[in-house]
Structure 1
Amino acid sequence: MSDKKFTVLDLLELDLPGHDALELRCIGGRRGLPREISIPDINRPGLALSGFFDAFAFKRVQLFGRGEAAYLQKLHDENKNDNLKALFSYKIPCCVFSNNREPTQEFFQLAEEACCPLLQTSLDTTDFSTRLIRVFSNIFAPKKTVHGVLVEVYGVGILLTGHSGVGKSETALELVERGHRLVADDIVEVRCVNGNVVLGRGANALISHHMEIRGLGIINVSQLYGVGAIRDQKEIQLVVQLEEWDSGKVYDRLGVDQKYMDILGVKVPAIDIPVRPGRNLPIIIEAAAMNERLKKMGVNSAKEFNQNVLKWIENGEAQSAFYGNDDSY
């Protein structure tokens, strides 16, 4: 996550579409909206309401579902507020009531006095928990920016890297022309979600679908090729390093040994593609994307080729092919 603190007010102001919408609104404790949410997790405070505060996860968002709301009503009916006072002696980020449940009057007053925001959602407890954890995983995910171009080719997210001027944008433009999709050009923001998934998107949403083509200038891919030619974000599943052809370098010609690039602690498959006049890079990248999909399905062409060659040698066919059928020599 960036150095900017994430507050309860930020949580309220999130504009999330469809199945990510949290449907939150503030019903009390507005003075505490600037409170920071530092831990991306949820706590159900049932034990705390009963008076057990050992290992109380007070730094998390406190979620009140059916059970907690029923217990609050029980405390109200029995006029027992000591546990509530002890609860609000901790600096809780906020309390959320699911299913449009309402806090008791005592709970509301104590929250106001403690400047603890009270939020309410129409979602049920399970649905809200799932959505909030998913939102937190995106907001608090480790992130960084890399120089490159991110495209989706046959459903595979490919990050094109290389020195400036090697032809990354031109290659990506040709891929878009061939029906594939652009995610981001030049500056790509990458995030590690759930510890094993690397997502990439444009560092700036307003300019992420623009491309700089030397000699042509800035173009808007979505306007030129339509909205079907762009995508907001994509998992990075393959890194393609474009580099100038070096006659003194030995390039991999079999592909048996898989290389990886470490991105935020996740090993992403990587390949080096030398660039020189006459090489059709878009077709090579398309083949690399399809080959990567085959690997995900358990089919490794390079290893199968190697095994077939070994079988051919073991069967003696290689020797026969070398010497031929004439035994006179």
Structure 2
Amino acid sequence: MPRALSSETLHATSVAIGGRAVLLCGVSGIGKSDLALRLIDRGAVLISDDYTLVKRVEGQLVATAPATIIGKMEVRGLGIVAMPHVADVPVALIVDLFDKVDRMPLEPVMRTVAGINVRVVKIAPLEASAPIKVELALRMLDQGGDTP
């Protein structure tokens, strides 16, 4: 059996909500940075825009920005903007972004990153309720409930 990587660089924008990292994943142009900006407006803090370095440290995943993009965010129409940021935040959730998502997901989905399983939810990023859905998914994790 191949050994799990101790770190991975993911095509993901990441924010910290309540001290936990949420990785926003999806194809280019899907709305990762837009959703992150709306979450930041609601109190989240930028970890990394567009690419996130995820490291396994003592059995836990932590997210941080690659050195070349620390504290920088691309805001469409404005360019590269300096933003307050945090580093080495424990990973709690992966949010896969799609234009259309199932109304009622059948079962919980997990993804293995650097050898550790992380809960995945699917969200349409440009819906007005998308930031609230991300926060709700985190709350559901806290309560031990199944997130979709």
Q: TM-score, structure 2 length as denominator?
A: 0.86
Q: State the secondary structure of the residue aligned to 2:121.
A: strand
1:260 alignment counterpart? 110
Per the alignment, residue 142 of structure 2 pairs with: 293
* Correspondence for 1:181: 45
Q: Does 1:209 align with 2:71?
A: yes
Quote the residue 1:282 is aligned against. Answer: 131
Residue identity in the other structure for 2:31: G
Deviation, 1:266, is 0.8
Q: What's the % identity of the aligned pairs?
A: 28
CA–CA distance in structure 1, aligned partners of residues 96 and 146 of structure 2: 21
Which protein has the bigger helix share?
1
Change (3 A) 1:159 1:202: same
Q: Which has the higher contact order (CA 8 A, sep 6+)?
A: 2
Once the two structures are TM-superposed, the CA of residue 157 in structure 1 deviates from its matched residue by 1.5
Structure 1 counterpart of 2:88, which letter?
Q
1:55-81 per-position Cα deviation (integer Å, ceiling 9, x unaligned): xxxxxxxxxxxxxxxxxxxxxxxxxxx
Shift of residue 268, structure 1, vs aligned partner: 0.6
Secondary structure of 1:173's match? Answer: helix
Per the alignment, residue 232 of structure 1 pairs with 87
TM-score computed with the length of structure 1 as normaliser = 0.41
Q: Which amino acid in 1 is paired with 2:30?
A: V
2:57 counterpart (176, 193, 198): 193
Deviation >3 Å, runs of 4+? none
- Counterpart CA distance in 2 for 1:274 and 1:169 is 13
1:188 to 1:166, Cα distance in 2 relative to 1, 3 A? same
1:288 maps to amino acid: A
- More strand as a share of residues: 2
Q: 1:252 to 1:258 in 2, by over 3 A?
A: farther
Q: Answer whether contact 2:8 2:113 (CA < 8 A) is retained.
A: no
User: Amino acid of the residue matched to residue 260 of structure 1?
Assistant: M
The Cα shift of 1:252 comes to 5.4
- Structure 1: tracts of 5 or more residues without a match: 1-140, 223-229, 303-329
**What is the Cα deviation at residue 165 of structure 1?**
0.8
Equivalent residue number for residue 156 of structure 1 = 20
User: Does the aligned pair in 1 maintain the 2:19–2:89 contact within 8 Å?
Assistant: no
SS at structure 2 position matched to 1:231: coil
Of 1, 6, 11 in structure 2, the residue corresponding to residue 147 of structure 1 is 11
Structure with larger Rg: 1
Deviations along 1:27-54, one digit per CA (max 9) or x if unpaired, are xxxxxxxxxxxxxxxxxxxxxxxxxxxx
